Amino acid sequence: MNRSIRLMLGLTLSFAATISWAGAASSPQPQPAPAATFAQFECTGFISPHSVPGTIRVFNGADNDLYEVLHNFSEGDYVYLRRTDRQPFHVGEDYSIVRPENGFGLDPSWVVGKIENQILPPSSRYRLQRFEIKKLGRPYNNTGLVRVVKVTPQGAIAKVLFTCNGINPQDIAVPYQPEPIPNYVPTADLNRFALPNGRLTGTIVAASHATAYLAEGSIAFLNIGQNQGVVPGQKYRIYAISRDNVTMGLEGIIPMPPTPRETLGELVILRVQEKSSVGIVVKNLREIAVGDSVELE
């Protein structure tokens, strides 16, 4: 190979390497993105350490002449609000509408709270799930957002701006306090078998729609909150610790050797209470179950 050919080959390889380096250097980096949509953020539900006062309630609404307790009010409808503290309503006030979950105990005061649970499941494979939730407080569902458009001697008339799964008579109204939706930077390469890092850990005690399994976009309720330093926007690794073996056969009764810790996905904290927090799954590598653990990244 003569000198000119060798020189040309060298220049070609050098140029190719430069282009490759430039392409790698200019490759787009993950950018911050909202962890949830407005609907996901406003419809999470929560576990409150204290009972939400029922001072203001939806007592009825337009087009419900029979006062049906299961009547659903949706976006664009009008509901009637009444309060027991003798304080006045004001046009333009926004209220978040919430509903307590009564579980399946005897509580005739609120029928809907028994049949539309979004947090408390009717049954569970996660041992003592209802007990674990009860330790954190009382579950509440978000049902919608309304705005007062007129004040009358019989109560305030509020227009439904947004609903999660329908507003019902006897739902509780609390002053709406808008909060920013946390941003997060997607993890490009989530380590499937990361070792413990020694940071804060917790457990997923419930999932949205009272399900047993979670995927990307699912809401997770954790047994850690403000008391442990949890704040919105934190990112947690989800990993499996142990699951009840429900298979029939020897593998269900013979102790199995421990396996390496497996990363199942990732979640971002949306809202925080004193003892609990609410997060959204932003990535899952395989199925996530209620009872799995999380670790602060």
Instruction: Indicate if 279 and 215 belong to the same structural domain.
Output: yes
User: Which backbone phi and psi does 295 adopt, to 5 degrees?
Assistant: -140, 130
Instruction: Indicate if 136 and 220 belong to the same structural domain.
Output: no
Q: How confident is the model at residue 117, as a pLDDT?
A: 74
CB atoms within 10 A of CB 40: 18
Amino acid at 249: G
Residue reference for tokens 């050797």: 257
178 vs 15: CA distance, rounded Å: 54
Comparing CA positions, the residue from 45, 172, 66 lying closest to residue 109 is 172
200 vs 66: CA distance, rounded Å: 52
Q: How confident is the model at residue 103, as a pLDDT?
A: 57
Instruction: Indicate if 188 and 238 belong to the same structural domain.
Output: yes
Q: How confident is the model at residue 78, as a pLDDT?
A: 98
Q: How confident is the model at residue 13, as a pLDDT?
A: 47
Instruction: Indicate if 263 and 171 belong to the same structural domain.
Output: no
The last residue of a domain, from among 154, 175, 196 = 175
Q: Specify if 23 maps to a domain.
A: no
Q: How confident is the model at residue 106, as a pLDDT?
A: 45
DSSP-based three-state secondary structure for 192 = coil
Q: pTM of the entire structure? A: 0.84
CB atoms within 10 A of CB 132: 18
* CA dihedral for 238, 240, 244, 246, sign (positive or negative): positive
The last residue of a domain, from among 175, 197, 229 = 175
Q: How confident is the model at residue 17, as a pLDDT?
A: 47
DSSP-based three-state secondary structure for 153 = coil
Decide: 117 and 56 in contact? Cβ < 8 Å.
Answer: no
Amino acid at 98: V
pLDDT per residue rounded down to tens, the chain (297 residues): 555 545 454 545 454 544 455 444 455 677 889 999 999 999 999 999 999 999 999 999 999 988 888 889 999 999 999 999 989 999 999 999 999 987 544 445 555 555 567 898 877 778 789 899 999 999 999 999 999 999 999 999 999 999 998 899 999 999 999 999 999 998 888 999 999 999 999 999 999 999 999 999 999 999 999 999 999 999 999 998 655 554 445 555 677 677 888 999 999 999 999 999 999 999 999 999 999 999 999
DSSP-derived letter for residue 73 is B
CATH of the domain at 238: 2.40.30
Pairing of strands 262-272, 235-240: antiparallel
List CB contacts of 90: < 8 A, sequence separation 6 or more.
Answer: 148, 151
Q: Which range marks the domain in which residue 280 is found?
A: 181-296
Domain tally, the chain: 2
Q: Specify if 188 maps to a domain.
A: yes
Instruction: Indicate if 163 and 253 belong to the same structural domain.
Output: no
Q: Specify if 199 maps to a domain.
A: yes
Pairing of strands 277-284, 213-214: unpaired
